[in-house]
């Protein structure tokens, strides 16, 4: 008899994280889901695990289960927060938690990192993106910001670009252990922090995105991708990013393409 899986979902109290929790438990109620967040998870089937991902001491002190089969890194701070806070959670804290969980992962486990299409807005040079992807301490973060003085919105974009690069590197490093690492990049999504993204990215830019594909995404749509990628059904998907944005990037690319396919949209 196969033992029930144990999965940790960060940001599990709201938005995409909460939707991931529900999706996993709806599919298999025997799964043990630990919803890591500052607040309790509204889905009472999950086990709430309180932690501030900006606090490395709190991450180090977390009581984790003996084994973990999946980790969904969903929690993130939007660009309305100070750059130091954004990078503390979206980069350094994410790295620290992942490395702690990896100590409890066995062959067949999976990690899904929730990045963002905002990664394409990053303007930091490649060497600085790589440097952020390797940040492990608060001192690393502080020095990176001293060398790259940016505000919250740019810090968000760069943190997500770094997460994409980190996903690829981590996937390659863990391949011998048969642990998969993939990322999901949602577009604008109807969650409680959509208002923050509107403030940091601009109402006009958000409206253009919605107009291009007809609407914003829904948390359940990104959650479906995350839950699938955590599952055994995705066992041969590794080291890649899956955009979940209704074709937004394709529509933008097609606008600059010489290829025309007239009459298909009517």
Would you name the residues annotated as active-site residues? 156
Rounded Cα–Cα distance for residues 232 and 229 (Å):
8
Give Cα 138 to chain centroid, integer Å: 20
Alpha-carbon distance of 246 to 143, in angstroms, equals 37
Integer Cα distance of 127 and 24 in angstroms: 37
CA separation (Å) from 112 to 70, 240, 242? Answer: 8, 10, 10
CA dihedral 23, 161, 254, 213 (to 10 degrees): 40
Distances (CA, A) of 82 to 100, 151, 155: 26, 7, 9
**Rounded CA gap, 102 and 143, in Å?**
26
Using a 10 angstrom Cβ sphere, with 0-12 exposed, 13-18 middle and 19 or more buried, the burial of residue 264 is exposed
Look at residues 38, 30, 35, 39 and name the one whose alpha carbon lies nearest to residue 18. Answer: 35
């Amino acid at each position: 008899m196969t033992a029930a899986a144990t999965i940790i979902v960060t940001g599990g109290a709201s938005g995409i994280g909460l939707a991931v929790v529900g999706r996993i438990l709806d599919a298999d109620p025997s799964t043990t889901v630990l919803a890591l967040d500052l607040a309790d998870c509204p889905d009472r089937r999950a086990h709430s695990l309180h932690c501030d991902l900006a606090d490395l001491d709190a991450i180090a002190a977390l009581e984790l289960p003996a084994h973990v089969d999946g980790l969904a890194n969903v929690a993130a701070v939007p660009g309305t927060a100070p750059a130091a806070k954004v990078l503390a959670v979206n980069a350094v804290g994410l790295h620290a938690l992942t490395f702690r969980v990896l100590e409890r992962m066995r062959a067949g486990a999976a990690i899904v990192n929730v990045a963002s299409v905002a990664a394409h807005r990053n303007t930091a040079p490649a060497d600085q993106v790589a440097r952020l992807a390797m940040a492990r301490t608060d001192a690393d973060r502080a020095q990176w910001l001293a060398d790259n003085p940016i505000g919250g919105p740019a810090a968000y974009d760069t943190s997500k670009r770094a997460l994409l690069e980190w996903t690829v590197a981590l996937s390659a490093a863990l391949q011998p252990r048969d642990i998969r690492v993939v990322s999901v990049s949602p577009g604008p999504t109807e969650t409680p922090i959509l208002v923050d993204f509107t403030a940091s990215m601009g109402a006009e830019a958000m409206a253009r995105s919605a107009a291009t594909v007809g609407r914003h995404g829904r948390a359940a749509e990104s959650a479906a991708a995350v839950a699938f990628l955590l599952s055994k059904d995705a066992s041969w998907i590794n080291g890649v990013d899956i955009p979940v944005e209704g074709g937004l990037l394709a529509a933008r690319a097609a606008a600059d393409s010489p290829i025309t396919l007239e009459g298909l949209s009517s």
